Structure 1
Amino acid sequence: MSMALLTIESLDKTFHSQVRDTHVLDDIHLYIQKGEFVTIIGPSGCGKSTLLKIIAGLDTDYAGVVSLSGEAIEKPSKDKGFIFQEHRLFPWLTVEQNIAAELSLKDPEVRKHVDDFIQLVKLQGFEKSYPKQLSGGMSQRVAIARALLRKPKVLLLDEPFGALDAFTRSHMQEALLEIWQNHQTTMVFVTHDIDEALFLSNRVIVMEAKPGRIKANITIDLPYPRKRSGRSFQELRAKLVGLLEHETPDEEEWQI
């Protein structure tokens, strides 16, 4: 476990207010290796997004250990890219300017990297377009390119496709999977969608709520590309549904 890129040990998180204290995360232990695609699923209120914000360094009021490459996470940094459900692009900047952000496109090296990432997310021809001229899926591609340009050690994605229609969402899942396979950036992905988790991940973390705990840590040993209609996919899906609803995990049952 000491070789893990991301280490979370004995993590507890409580929100305090004048009315009451809410215990959000309870004794979370999680170890993520470099290059993994790990998806966190669970019911609303189980602390998925809170966990992601702690990993990102956006929330530091907790008990326990959270470290990246052996160093405690104390604040946001370029080592941790974050993709929200909303793309959060600057509306007054073009696609290429949004990807570059604080970096100058006049710098030949920056220009080359921006052009490379535009190609990576397949937005050639839209370099001069503004966010209002883009679809939701295209805007998220810009956000992903902007994050990857900073060469993060881990890319954190908080339901990034939740606001998209079903067709665009499926297309973006395939695009993200291709980016991960080609770029090998470690991904930590939060979703409510079981099919999305099974399609993308090589590991799924199932959480339960009140307070948020890890119920199961499941390796998804299905070859890529995955067929959603395939028997093994559907068997895993049925077991995940049962696990989310009421069942206690049985390690032997997950050998698919």
Structure 2
Amino acid sequence: MVSTLEITQVSKSFKNNNGSVHVLDQLDLSVKDGEFVTIIGPSGCGKSTLLKLIAGLDLDFQGHIEVGSQEVHGPSKDRGFIFQEHRLFPWLTTEKNIASNLSLKDPDVRQRVDDLIALVNLKGFEKAYPRQLSGGMSQRVAIARALLRNPKILLLDEPFGALDAFTRSHLQEALHHIWESNKTTMVLVTHDIDESVFLSSRVVVMDSKPGRIKAIVPIDIPYPRKRTSKSFQEFRTVILEHLDHKINEKEDFSI
């Protein structure tokens, strides 16, 4: 299978008043076309930093990152990015937020926006403004907007972290539906172990200080997955064991 993302010997440091902080250390990771990969690890291990490097939002690093066989030299429409906050324009309706700077008068854009509204299950809310939407609905608008230009990869930085447990569970199911329907390669950063097992083809477990890949766990459970199943709990335990020493240090994990 063709790789959408290739990360080779990537290291990253931040300068501060005391010198520099080594955040990422010689990361190697390959993500296949159409794969759903989750990155999990303790606070400060560089998960979100890595996502920003892939997105091209920070180019001050060592090593190589390729998306679709093209070296990352900055932001690109090939890489969609979803933040924890939906970041919708409050003065635009759902359909106009999705279309962004493209005109809905263009028949192709109109059709694509309509298809995405159906995909994220927001029919009937095309004319609604962000203030009229729930947090979960707003994140679905943000996901649809990121998918408009058919990115090769969708990067999600804890997109459901600010939502309540019920909404979060519902959005996880919605994201899985979007992934299965659209076949977009996805890389998700999360603190939620259940979320990682529920969604992922593979879970990348990171260690910190500096951030390194500690383990990669293939989640060999057929979809749809049941959180109460024995196999689900077994994979959950495997990931917990990889993170166990950090949990004992009272790191913040959703378990």
Q: Which TM-score band applies after superposition, normalised by the shorter structure?
A: over 0.9
Q: Which runs of 5+ in 2 are unaligned?
A: 247-255
> Who is 1:250 aligned against?
none
Moved over 6 A (4+): none
Asked if the contact 2:217/2:239 (under 8 Å) is kept, the reply is no
What is the DSSP-based 3-state SS (H/G/I as helix, E as strand, rest coil) of the residue aligned with 2:84? coil
Which residue number in structure 2 is paired with residue 63 of structure 1? 62
Counterpart of 2:24 in structure 1 is 25
Q: CA deviation at 1:246?
A: 3.3
Structure 1 residue 141: deviation in Å? 0.3
Q: 2:4, 2:69 within 8 Å by CA — same for their partners in 1?
A: yes
Q: Secondary structure at the match of 1:5?
A: strand
* Count of aligned positions: 246
CA–CA separation in structure 2 for the residues paired with 1:110 and 1:238: 45
In the TM superposition, residue 47 of structure 1 has moved relative to its aligned partner by 0.2
Moved more, 238-247 or 32-41: 238-247
Cα deviation for residue 242 of structure 1 reads: 1.2
Instruction: Judge conservation of contact 2:14–2:21 (CA < 8 Å) in 1.
Output: yes
1:184 aligns with 2:183: yes
Matched, 1:80 2:79: yes
Q: Deviations over 1:153-186 (max 9, x none)?
A: 0000000000000000000000000010011000
- Aligned-partner Cα distance in 2 for 1:79–1:102: 17
CA distance in 2, matches of 1:185, 1:38: 11
Q: Which moved more, 1:59-68 or 1:12-21?
A: 12-21
Does residue 195 of structure 1 match 2:194?
A: yes
Task: Kindly report the root-mean-square deviation, in angstroms, between the aligned alpha carbons of the 2 structures.
Answer: 1.1
For 1:206 and 1:172, locate their aligned partners in 2 and report how far apart those are by CA, in whole Å: 23
Give the share of equivalent positions with the same residue, in percent: 66
Cross-structure match for 1:218: 217
CA drift at 1:23:
0.1
Report the 3-state secondary structure (helix = DSSP H, G, I; strand = E; otherwise coil) of the residue aligned with 1:206: strand
2:76 partner letter: S
Counterpart Cα distance in 2 of 1:17 and 1:238: 37
Partner of 1:126: 125
Aligned equivalent of 1:151 = 150
For 2:31 and 2:41, how far apart are their aligned partners in 1? 18
1:235 Cα deviation after fit: 1.2
CA distance in 1, matches of 2:145, 2:90: 14
Structure 1 residue 213: Cα displacement: 0.2
TM-score in terms of structure 2 length: 0.95
Take 1:153 and 1:235, find their aligned partners in 2: how far apart are those partners? 32
